[in-house]
Structure formats: C-alpha cells, structure tokens
C-alpha cells in the first residue's frame, strides 16, 4: 500500500538527494539505493526483490536528473561530444547487459557489491584524490571498451557513472570541467539503458495495483525525481557559502554508513 508516510519519505529523500547533488556534484544513487531498501523493508516488500527494486528505481530517477545536468554543462560548452560518441555505444551495451546479471543475483550479493563500491567512492571522496594526467585521448576501441565496463558497473550499483567516468577522462588529460560535463552527458544513456533493462528483467514483478513497473517503483521514482530536480538549485547556492571540502568528507562517511546499514539488514 502507498501510504502518506511512504510518500513523505520519498519527498524527503528526493529533497536531500537534490541538495547533495547541487552542493557536491554527486549523483544520488549512493543515497537513494540504501535509503529505498530501508523504506521498502518498512513497507513489507519481499526481501528477494528489494535490492532490484531499489537499483531500478534509482536508475529511473537518474534519467531526469541527468537531462538537467548535461543540458546545463552543454550550454557552457562543457561536453566533449566526440568522446561521448565513442563511449556511448559501449555504455549502452554494458549497462543493459549488466541488468540481466543483476536480475539473477540475490539481493544479498547485490548489497555486498554495492557496499564495496560505495566504500571505494567514499574513500576517493574523503581523500579527494584525482588521477594524474598521463596520456592523450584513447582510441575509439579503448573508449568503447571503457564505456562497456563503466556502464556495467554503473548498472550494478545504479549510478550515473560520474565516479568512474570523471577519473577516467582526467587520466586522459581532459580538463576537469569538461570531464564533469562529459560524464554528465554519459549519465543519460546509462540511465535510459539501465532503466529499460531493469523494467524488462523485472517484468514479471510488474503490478500496477501496487504501482510497480518491472523493478521500478513508480511513486518512489516520481516523488524522488521531482523533488531532487527542484531542490538541486538550493545545493548550488549552498556550495558558495558552506565549506564544501568538509561537507564532502561528512557526506563520504554518510555514504559508507548507509551502505553498511543496508548490508546488515540483509544478514
């Protein structure tokens, strides 16, 4: 049942994700997935499908947020479309195929993989480490292969790929602003391909009386996407007044805490 409490939690989660995205420039998957698992557990959803629903729903919200993000970067000339064109085919294939793998794994193993990856992201964010530029842009074959790997991992943890794409592009001597802008553009095919994959692979789970389409919870998608879209500008304004470096470290600790809490809920 979709009750007032669930709607309120979706709205609060969406607002928090939007502010965090605007303030720190990070995607919401690291927050949405563990938070949704908690909400779905509270709703009495079968544990077998909880991680799949959280991943699919999170991926669907990224479709909306990625459009807003890459359009803003493109207006400022921050997207390298030549790199996007080389990586996008691999991104689409890797993301879509990985949803098939995710659909046959249990929620527990998906939670383990998610937690390990979030630990990596949190450490990277806490230490603020950036790779040293060491080469020029790679060949189209290398970009395709990298796109496939980035897409596959992104589908398994439901992220827009920024934590992987930005360091990969910086390693190729791409300017930071253009690396972020190009990563934002790449987030769109990741989100679309991943969402379709989670809907197709979870089709037997579709129940319109409970507002689920495959492995996507439609109410959670709607409220989180709309609220995060509306509150992102607040985070952008806060970025000019708050000590972002300190906030980023606190956020990194929050990510790992949420991931561990989620993992322990499956043990």
**What is the DSSP-derived secondary structure letter of residue 217?**
E
Report d(CA 129, CA 122) in Å as an integer: 11
Residue 99: predicted pLDDT: 96
Cα–Cα distance for residue pair 254/247, rounded to 1 Å: 10
Domain ranges for the chain, please list them.
4-265
Percent helix, strand, coil in the chain, to 5, is 80, 0, 20
pTM beyond cutoff 0.75: yes
- Cα dihedral 260, 23, 221, 39 in deg (nearest 10): 30
Q: What is the pLDDT of residues 13-45, one digit of tens each?
A: 999 888 887 777 666 778 899 999 999 988 888
In percent, the amount of the chain with pLDDT more than 90 equals: 42
- The predicted-structure confidence for 72-112, as pLDDT tens digits, reads as follows 778 888 889 999 999 999 999 999 999 999 999 999 999 99
Question: 169-217 pLDDT, tens per residue?
Answer: 988 988 878 888 888 889 899 999 999 999 999 999 999 888 999 999 9
Spatial contact of 154 and 161, defined as CB atoms under 8 Å apart: yes
């Amino acid at each position: 049942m979709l009750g007032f409490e669930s709607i309120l939690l979706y709205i609060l989660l969406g607002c928090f994700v939007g502010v965090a995205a605007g303030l720190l420039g990070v995607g919401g998957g690291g927050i949405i997935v563990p938070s949704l698992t908690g909400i779905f557990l509270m709703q009495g959803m079968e544990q077998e499908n909880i991680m799949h629903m959280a991943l699919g729903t999170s991926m669907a919200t990224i479709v909306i947020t990625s459009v807003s993000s890459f359009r803003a970067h493109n207006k400022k000339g921050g997207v390298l479309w030549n790199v996007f064109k080389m990586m996008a085919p691999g991104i689409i294939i890797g993301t879509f195929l990985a949803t098939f793998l995710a659909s046959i794994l249990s929620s527990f193993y998906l939670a383990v993989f998610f937690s390990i990856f979030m630990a990596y992201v949190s450490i990277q964010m806490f230490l603020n480490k950036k790779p040293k530029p060491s080469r020029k842009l790679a060949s189209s074959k290398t970009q395709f292969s990298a796109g496939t790997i980035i897409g596959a991992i992104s589908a398994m943890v439901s992220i827009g790929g920024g934590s992987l794409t930005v360091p990969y592009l910086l390693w190729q001597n791409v300017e930071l602003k253009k690396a972020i802008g190009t990563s934002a553009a790449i987030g769109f095919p990741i989100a679309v391909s991943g969402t379709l994959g989670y809907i197709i692979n979870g089709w037997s789970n579709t129940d319109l009386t409970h507002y689920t389409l495959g492995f996507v919870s439609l109410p959670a998608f709607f409220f989180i996407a709309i609220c995060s879209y509306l509150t992102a500008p607040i985070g952008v304004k806060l970025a000019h007044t708050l000590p972002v470096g300190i906030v980023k470290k606190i956020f990194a600790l929050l990510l790992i805490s949420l991931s561990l809490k989620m993992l322990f809920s499956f043990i």
